[in-house]
């Protein structure tokens, strides 16, 4: 089940990255940028960077490519896990079918009473 989930979620992340990579617009914090706009990055209220339109487009493409790579890695890991599970299931020894597949059966061990009949004849007859 884990392999199927890995393939599924890895595929979703891969498709999300592909969608982001093929966008025509450039986003800055979820807002569409226009040519000449500046994207200002802040962390804890402090200005940490500023990108122009072309720089932000490059950053968006890099993030999308990394997202696609991560999704592909998760999906491939899921496929490898599924392949391993199927391989291990195929390696299990098949169960014998029919009496001939067991080979010759060993002889019964000698009874403790030697050749005495079983059940012992105590003189009573079954009714």
**Mean predicted confidence (pLDDT) in 57-65:** 93
CA–CA separation, 4 and 78 (whole Å): 6
pLDDT above 90 for 119: no
The angle, 0 to 180 degrees and rounded to 10, between the axes of the packed helices 2-21 and 53-91 is 160
CA–CA separation, 78 and 85 (whole Å): 11
Position with higher pLDDT, 5 vs 90: 5
pTM tops 0.95, yes or no: no
**Residue 29's pLDDT band (boundaries 50, 70, 90)?**
confident
Q: What is the pLDDT of residue 87?
A: 85
CA–CA separation, 96 and 104 (whole Å): 13
What ranges do the domains of the chain cover?
2-87
pLDDT above 70 for 113: no
DSSP secondary structure letters along 57-106: HHHHHHHHHHHHHHHHHHHHHHHHHHHHHHHHHHHSPPPP-SGGGG-SPP
Q: Give Cα 19 distance to the centre of its chain.
A: 24
């Amino acid at each position: 089940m884990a392999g199927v989930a890995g393939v599924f979620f890895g595929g979703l992340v891969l498709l999300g990255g592909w969608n982001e990579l093929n966008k025509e617009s450039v986003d800055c914090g979820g807002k569409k940028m226009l040519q000449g706009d500046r994207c200002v990055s802040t962390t804890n209220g402090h200005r940490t960077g500023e990108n122009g339109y072309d720089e932000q487009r490059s950053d968006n493409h890099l993030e999308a490519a990394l997202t696609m790579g991560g999704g592909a890695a998760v999906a491939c890991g899921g496929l490898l896990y599924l392949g391993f599970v199927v391989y291990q299931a195929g390696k299990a020894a098949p169960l014998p079918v029919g009496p001939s597949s067991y080979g010759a059966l060993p002889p019964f061990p000698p009874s403790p009473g030697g050749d005495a009949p079983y059940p012992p004849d105590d003189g009573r007859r079954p009714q």
